[in-house]
């Protein structure tokens, strides 16, 4: 058996719209933005992940940056394949005599179609996977934050990623009811972009919008701890000259209000369709928030006010999903019931 372990390596991948994380040998070895840069003339990949992110929106005609995933699913098949290959290369297997074949568990949104599922499997196989399993994001998040998913107890997970917000009620190793909406981190960035253009006549890029969201993003105008005002640099739409303005967290809360309201609506819908016995469990255990969106200031308070339920933010929300995926590949037999082929 030891010899076969030498020939294969187990990899857990959280293939996200904004970031891709990979676990190998129980360690997070890759945590990179989901983006690649290609040379238009030779069609060769120049950079993957963070390096490509630095080039994003700053390229000339010969270089294009591609985000292969949109709304949680693969939008550009070849780019996704190249990205997975590039990120697997980042795992250090140089001390091996030859490249091992990989067994992979990959995260997928719960509202994914069969065609989209096939695209994920094909991309992984072309990137060198011998066996591919898939796990739904809310399930992986629940395992990642330490919930025993096999128990006949209802747990509600809200996973706000870059492309989708996944809301699911989990019990007995399965998703009882779920809501998957395409309102998440990328939509928040777009809201900020539109708000800056509308309110301040300032044109900013995607990366700047993301910086604003991280530095002063909020779901409530009144916060207990208000972050300091943030300087935004962009192009004045009236004069065409670069300029700087300062934004506050309450301004960004106004910009994000409609999108956060959509998430609230989806949460209420998921609660509405969950069976009464599981509703009783959720009332007792509260709702668990994971994903990058869980870091939005005041979101837990806003959801708590809307649902009248306790909201728990996961310890390391960005890595909850990949940790659950890592646990699943480590013990495939135990988690067989939650893995999809």
Find out whether 246 and 228 touch, Cβ atoms under 8 Å: no
- Annotation-wise, does 234 bind a ligand? no
Rounded CA gap, 263 and 174, in Å?
22
295 labeled binding residue: yes
Q: What is the DSSP string of 251-302?
A: HHHHHHHHHHHHHHHHHHHHHHHS-HHHHHHHHHH-EEEESGGGGSBTHHHH
Residue 233 assigned as binding residue: no
2 is in an annotated binding site: no
67: which 2 tokens?
């985000």
CA angle 248, 254, 257 (to 5 degrees): 135
Ligand-binding site membership of 17 (annotated): yes
| Number of other residues whose CB lies within 10 A of the CB of residue 254 | 14
Q: Is 303 annotated as a binding residue?
A: no
Q: Is 264 annotated as a binding residue?
A: no
Q: Tell me the CA distances in angstroms from 54 to 34, 50, 58, 331, one per residue in order.
A: 12, 6, 8, 37
Cα separation, 199 vs 12, whole angstroms:
43
Q: Is 331 annotated as a binding residue?
A: no
Task: Give the number of other Cβ atoms within 10 Å of residue 309's Cβ.
Answer: 17
Residue 162 is assigned to a ligand binding site:
yes
Burial of 159: CB neighbours in 10 Å, binned 0-12, 13-18, 19+: buried
Confirm whether residue 222 is marked as ligand binding. no
Ordered strands of the 242-247 beta sheet: 202-203, 230-236, 242-247
211 is in an annotated binding site: yes
Q: Is 166 assigned to a binding site?
A: no
* 163 in a labelled binding site: yes
CA-based nearest residue to 109, from 120, 100, 98: 120
Is 256 annotated in a binding site? The answer is no
Binding residues: 17-19, 162-164, 210-213, 292-295
Tell me the binding residues for ATP.
Answer: 17-19, 162-164, 210-213, 292-295
């Amino acid at each position: 058996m030891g010899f076969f372990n030498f020939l294969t390596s187990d990899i857990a991948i959280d293939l996200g719209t904004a970031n891709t994380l990979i676990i190998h040998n129980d360690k997070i070895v890759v945590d990179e933005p989901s983006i690649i840069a290609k040379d238009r003339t030779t069609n060769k990949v120049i950079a993957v992940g963070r390096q490509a992110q630095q080039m994003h929106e700053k390229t000339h005609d010969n270089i294009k940056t591609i985000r292969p995933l949109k709304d949680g699913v693969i939008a550009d098949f070849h780019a996704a394949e190249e990205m997975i290959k590039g990120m697997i290369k980042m795992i250090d297997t140089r001390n091996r005599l030859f490249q091992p074949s990989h067994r992979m568990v990959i995260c997928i949104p719960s509202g994914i179609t069969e065609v989209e599922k096939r695209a994920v499997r094909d991309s992984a196989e072309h990137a060198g996977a011998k066996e591919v399993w898939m796990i739904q994001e809310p399930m992986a998040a629940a395992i990642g934050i330490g919930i025993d998913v096999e128990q006949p107890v209802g747990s509600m997970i809200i996973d706000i990623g870059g492309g989708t917000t996944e809301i699911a009620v989990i019990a007995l190793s399965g998703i009882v009811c779920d809501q998957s909406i395409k309102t998440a981190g990328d939509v928040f960035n777009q809201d900020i972009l539109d708000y800056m253009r509308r309110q301040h006549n300032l044109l900013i890029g995607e990366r700047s919008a993301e910086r604003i969201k991280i530095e002063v993003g909020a779901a409530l105008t009144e916060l207990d701890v208000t972050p300091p005002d943030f300087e935004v640099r962009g192009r004045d739409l009236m004069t065409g000259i670069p300029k700087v303005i300062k934004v506050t967290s309450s301004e960004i809360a106004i910009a994000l209000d409609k999108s956060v309201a959509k998430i609230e609506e989806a949460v209420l819908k998921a609660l509405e369709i969950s069976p009464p016995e599981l509703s009783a469990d959720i009332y007792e255990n509260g709702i668990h928030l994971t994903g990058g969106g869980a870091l939005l200031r005041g979101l837990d308070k806003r959801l708590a006010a809307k649902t009248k339920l306790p909201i728990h933010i996961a310890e390391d929300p960005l890595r909850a999903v990949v940790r659950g995926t890592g646990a699943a590949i480590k013990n495939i037999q135990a988690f067989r019931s939650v893995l999809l082929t």
